[in-house]
Amino acid sequence: MNHKEVDFERLSQRIDVVAEKWDISGAVVILADDRIVHKKVYGYADREKGIRTSPDSTYLMSARSTLLLGLCIMQLIDRGKVALRDTLDRYIPEYRHASKITIKHLLYQTSGIRDYFHGGKMIELSRSEQHQALTDEDRFRIETYAYEAPITFDDVLATIGDAPLEFEPGSRTDDWSASNDVLLQEIVERVSGMKLVDYQRKNIFEPLGMVDTVQGCDADTVSYGCIKETVLVRLPVVQRIDHSIRTTVDDLVRLMRGMVDRRLLSRRAWKTALAYDREGQAILAENVNGIACGEGGLLGYEFNLYFDQDAGLGYIHMGNESQTMRRTDGEWYWFRKDMRRVIEEETTYPRFTSLRAYSEQNYWDAMSLEVDESQRSFVLDAKTSLCYALAKRRVRRPYVLMEGKRAVGLLVLAIDRRRAYYNVDILLVDRKYQKRGFGKIMLGRGLEILKQKGARRIEIGVSRYNVAAQRLYFSMGFRRAAVYDEGMALRIDLDNPG
């Protein structure tokens, strides 16, 4: 997809500003239309010693990450070795509840299997007086390493084997358990006959040319975790974690290209791998405001890969320090949130635009739409608009304008066939996407809905001071029906357009 509207130089400059604001350590790379439009490293390889990050710095990520484990399973599905609906007794018959749980349950975190770590090891540590007597920083170091420390499948099975399920498989959504990833790893290894990292090297890293991505913990950057939202804690260098992978920024760019270009899987498998549930979770990634996000963090190292295959867009953030957070005006902010916002603002234009009914699939993003400062005296905010619409569901119908999988606007129509009343109640375009034609697209599709519902006259109200909105409505055929001190009633008579 040609991003001809995008000013990539301005985008790069804005990323630099956000990186400096948050004092991050690591790298940010943006790929658009198969071209690297931003690639920079920031901050420190070792903050305490003042050693700066370099383009050749190495980082760690986890072989058990959602992205990598998901790719392994989907490749095995492509090859006919496993199926999403297979129950675990086909692969792990020794597990007590195996006949009730499918591979899909594991991938979507809906298995109900007890979390061996947070429901086991962490409870033990919380009961230890010796552990609780440590400083917050030392407890954090021990717990962080304990989570990643080598553990065998047999050890996990010993912990969860006799435990009842937390809930009926599939009855909850996105109820995360560390046990799911261990079972997925075991399935990959039993079916393929290879250790997980060896399988990934042969079937993911080598096909993508990731020659510097190898098993190991010997990164030349020092990682920091974060506690209490703002406090960075230096983490110990470890010698062995069986699912730890050392990699470079250049290799992660190769992985990103593979995701954007739909490599490694068949088209059918890609569609399955990115099918989101109502919580926005898919096999490979989660839906983060319309873009797929796969992760692979480990021991304070953070790796997030964002990709939109239809738009030909991808970007990564790889760092050796966990993000700090700040609360402003009642809302939490962090680096990646600001980074995504900048990229979304600069790259979102009408390409794959659709108008969809307000639903479980888009409700969260719809509530997050923001009114531009210049429109706040004219337009209700998104949450208030939705409350207004849902208070009278029989008549008012909320719709969300989507650019791909991203919410960009909100439309509320009034449809009362008994009274022959058809009205455009609310039209809101998020402030990030103003002046790009989204308002006209949304209004046009809304008018088509009203016509299909039987409208012969369509009405809309507008402030006399909202000149921009008036210009849009007049361009779509609305005419003045009445003019008041503060507002105007506009109308389209379909039986008498003149």
State the pLDDT at residue 238: 79
For 441, other C-beta atoms within 10 Å of its C-beta total 19
pLDDT of residue 490: 94
Is 383 part of any domain?
yes
Q: Which of 299, 326, 343 is the last residue of a domain?
A: 299
Q: What is the mean pLDDT of residues 108-119?
A: 94
pTM of the model: 0.90
Residue 88 lies in a domain: yes
Please state, in angstroms and rounded to a whole number, the distance separating the CA atoms of residues 322 and 299: 9
CA-based end-to-end distance of the chain: 40
Q: Which pair of tokens denotes residue 416?
A: 């009362």
Among the three residues 259, 274, 299, which one is the final residue of a domain in this structure? 299
Q: What value, to the nearest 5°, has the Cα angle with vertex 121 and ends 116 and 123?
A: 110
Clarify whether residues 225 and 94 are in a common domain.
yes
Report CA-CA distances (Å) from 168 to 88, 97, 110.
15, 11, 9
In 3D space, the residue among 373, 255, 377 whose CA is nearest the CA of residue 318 turns out to be: 255
> In 266-405, where does DSSP find H-type helix?
267-273, 335-347, 363-367, 382-390
Continuous segment of H or E residues that includes residue 125: helix 122-127
The pLDDT tens digits for 404-448 are 989 999 999 999 998 999 999 999 999 999 999 999 999 999 999
pLDDT band at 279 (very low <50, low <70, confident <90, very high): confident
Residues 136 and 238 occupy one common structural domain:
yes
Judgement on whether residues 269 and 361 belong to the same structural domain of the protein: no
Each residue of 283-299: pLDDT tens digit? 999 999 889 999 988 99
Task: Give the model's pLDDT for residue 240.
Answer: 84
Statement to judge: residues 364 and 290 lie in one domain: no
User: Which DSSP string do the residues of 10-41 spell out, in sequence order?
Assistant: HHHHHHHHHHHHHT--EEEEEEETTEEEEEEE
Is 209 a domain residue? yes
Asked if residue 197 and residue 99 are part of one domain, the reply reads yes
Percent of the chain as helix, strand, coil, to the nearest 5: 35, 25, 40
Whether 218 shows a pLDDT value over 60: the answer reads yes
Average confidence (pLDDT) over 86-100: 96
Q: Considering the domain boundaries, does residue 451 fall inside one?
A: yes
pLDDT value, residue 30? 98
CB-CB contact of 403 with 352 (8 Å): yes
Q: Within a domain: residue 214?
A: yes
> Which CATH number goes with the domain that contains 220?
3.40.710.10
Could you tell me what percent of the chain has a pLDDT over 90?
86
192 and 63 both lie in a single domain: yes
286 lies in which domain range?
40-299
Residues 6+ positions from 239 with CB-CB distance below 8 Å: 217
Length of the chain: 498
Residues 166 and 104 in one domain: yes
Residue 19 lies in a domain: no
Please determine, for residue 328, whether its predicted confidence score (pLDDT) is greater than 80. Answer: yes
Give the single-character DSSP code of 287. E
Q: Rounded to whole angstroms, what are the CA distances from 227 to 45, 70, 321, 409, 443? A: 20, 29, 12, 36, 46
Q: Please check whether residues 284 and 371 belong to one and the same domain.
A: no
Q: CA 381, 384, 385 angle in degrees (round to 5)?
A: 80
Q: Look at the chain and report how many structural domains it folds into.
A: 2
Q: What is the pLDDT of residues 297-314, one digit of tens each?
A: 899 999 999 999 999 999
Same domain, 264 and 402: no
Give the lowest-confidence range in 111-115, 172-176, 485-489. 172-176
DSSP code of 204?
I
Q: Which two tokens stand for residue 369?
A: 């739409």
Q: Is the pLDDT of residue 498 over 60?
A: no
Residue 422 lies in a domain: yes
pLDDT value at position 1?
A: 60
Q: What's the confidence (pLDDT) of residue 494?
A: 82
Residues 90 and 185 in one domain: yes
Same domain, 170 and 240: yes
pLDDT band, very low/low/confident/very high, at 477 (cuts 50, 70, 90): very high
Mean pLDDT of the chain: 94
pLDDT digits (tens, 9 = 90+) for 138-196: 999 999 999 998 889 999 999 998 899 999 999 988 788 999 999 999 999 999 999 99
Could you tell me if 402 and 486 lie in one domain?
yes
The token pair at 123 is: 């409870």
DSSP letter for 89, please.
Answer: G
327-335: which pairs have CB atoms within 8 A and are 24 or more residues apart?
A: 327/229, 334/22, 335/18, 335/19, 335/22, 335/24
Domain CATH code at residue 459: 3.40.630.30
User: Would you state the pLDDT for residue 270?
Assistant: 97
Block residue for tokens 């290879």: 194
Q: Is residue 73 part of a domain?
A: yes
pLDDT value for 330: 83
